[in-house]
Amino acid sequence: MYKIGIETKKSILDASKALFYEKGVKNTSVAKICERSGVQPGSFTYYFPKKNDLLSEIYTAYMQKCVDFVDSKVTDLPAAKRHLFIVMFYYLHIYSDEKQIRFHKEVLEIASMNIWFHHPRKLISGFSGKAESGGNETYDLCVIADNAVRRELNLAFIESSDHSPEQIKKLMTDIYTVNAKLFDVDHDLVMEYLEEAYQFSKSHARENIYLLK
């Protein structure tokens, strides 16, 4: 992508994140994003044909920040443990701000959105020692079920009044208890890694990493 294209895309993303933070998804139109960013509607649709594409890009960029941060602090983690460190860090920083929580809820309520940190086959292998082959129908159905569980548990968590780190840990425990059953992995090992992930994330809870800022 040429420099001007990179700058245009960044302008759209910066403007959209600011507006989503201020007003939420439903109250932010593409026209408002174009007005804030100074980008013409035609250019917007070139980079983001649908609003959902823009939302996906925001989550992808945020996840990459989480990955880069974890990898900068701890090295040589087993794939499964690294996954839990990243996801715990991801949740702690999303749920640290009420406006981000509102935005996250709106995105979760869009049925066509899938923002989850997917399960690479090496992750499942890291827990169970069993590599999953591509095109495995049972595995794919388990991923779909796991995504649905994550969505529903996160929505229920958002509706609760307590978004403290301790409750986020409980959310993760609930998610990965189901995950362990779906993928037939060692639940005790998952919980051991989860505790380490929690302690790591708590110790870095005030890093300047945000979903929308």
Does 210 reside within a domain? no
pLDDT at position 48: 96
194: closest CA among 213, 168, 212? 168
DSSP 131: P
Number of structural domains (the chain) is 2
For residue range 21-35, what is the model confidence (pLDDT) as tens digits?
A: 999 999 999 999 999
Domain containing 102 equals 53-203
Q: Are residues 75 and 103 in the same domain?
A: yes
pLDDT at position 94 over 60: yes
User: What's the pLDDT band for 119 if we cut at 50, 70, 90?
Assistant: low
Does 40 reside within a domain? yes
Q: Are residues 145 and 169 in the same domain?
A: yes
Does 20 reside within a domain? yes
pLDDT at position 57 over 60: yes
The arithmetic mean of pLDDT across residues 83-100, rounded, is 95
Q: Are residues 40 and 83 in the same domain?
A: no
Does 208 reside within a domain? no
Q: Are residues 152 and 84 in the same domain?
A: yes
Instruction: Give the integer Cα–Cα distance in Å for 20 and 183.
Output: 35
Q: At what angle do helices 98-108 and 79-94 cross, to 10 degrees?
A: 110
Q: Are residues 174 and 90 in the same domain?
A: yes
Q: Are residues 86 and 171 in the same domain?
A: yes
The arithmetic mean of pLDDT across residues 155-159, rounded, is 97
Does 209 reside within a domain? no
Q: Are residues 40 and 68 in the same domain?
A: no
Does 121 reside within a domain? yes
Burial class (CB in 10 A: 0-12, 13-18, 19+), 28: buried
pLDDT at position 131 over 80: no
Q: Are residues 71 and 130 in the same domain?
A: yes
User: What's the pLDDT band for 60 if we cut at 50, 70, 90?
Assistant: very high
Q: Are residues 162 and 192 in the same domain?
A: yes
Percent of the chain with pLDDT over 70: 89
Q: Are residues 85 and 14 in the same domain?
A: no
pLDDT at position 125: 57
User: What's the pLDDT band for 101 if we cut at 50, 70, 90?
Assistant: very high
Instruction: Return the CATH number at 42.
Output: 1.10.10.60
Instruction: Give the integer Cα–Cα distance in Å for 46 and 29.
Output: 16
pLDDT at position 122 over 70: no
pTM: 0.89
Q: Are residues 118 and 43 in the same domain?
A: no
Does 213 reside within a domain? no
pLDDT at position 96 over 60: yes
pLDDT at position 9: 95
| Lowest mean pLDDT segment, chosen from 50-59, 67-76, 127-136 | 127-136
Q: Are residues 189 and 90 in the same domain?
A: yes
Does 32 reside within a domain? yes
